[in-house]
Amino acid sequence: MLVQLQAMNENQIHHVIYGSRRSNHYWERLVPNRNWNEIDKIIRLVIQTGQDQKYKKIFKRTKRIEGEPVEVVYLQLKDGSYKLSNAWINFEGKTL
């Protein structure tokens, strides 16, 4: 599967890296400095090789990386590219 993530703005990137007040995304468990380029590589790997699940009206792909359950929520567009909705390490075993 070819991974073509659409460009994300700074707010979207910040949300993926840090989560929200109520939800830590736990990237520091795999990327201690939370470097976006490293997180982006992990997200692409999960999209390429993870297992799909239907998630509401979009998709969630999951893969264990270094023992950590990484989840990527995305929408596949008609042109075959992907629009990333969110991504996190499911450290607490929670689902949205």
Q: Is residue 75 part of a domain?
A: yes
Answer whether 43's CB lies under 8 Å from 5's CB. yes
Rounded to the nearest 5 percent, the helix, strand and coil shares of the chain are 25, 35, 40
88 residue type, one letter: W
pLDDT score for 6: 67
Q: Is residue 95 part of a domain?
A: no
Q: Is residue 18 part of a domain?
A: yes
pLDDT score for 28: 96
Q: Is residue 53 part of a domain?
A: yes
How many domains does the chain divide into?
Answer: 1
Distance CA 39, CA 32 (A): 10
Distances (CA, A) of 34 to 9, 12, 40, 57, 88: 17, 14, 10, 29, 12
pLDDT score for 3: 56
Q: What is the chain's pLDDT, residue by residue, as a tens digit (96 residues)?
A: 445 666 788 999 999 999 988 889 999 999 999 999 999 999 999 988 999 987 677 889 999 999 999 999 988 788 877 788 899 999 876 554
Domain around 37 = 10-89
Q: Is residue 65 part of a domain?
A: yes
Q: Is residue 1 part of a domain?
A: no
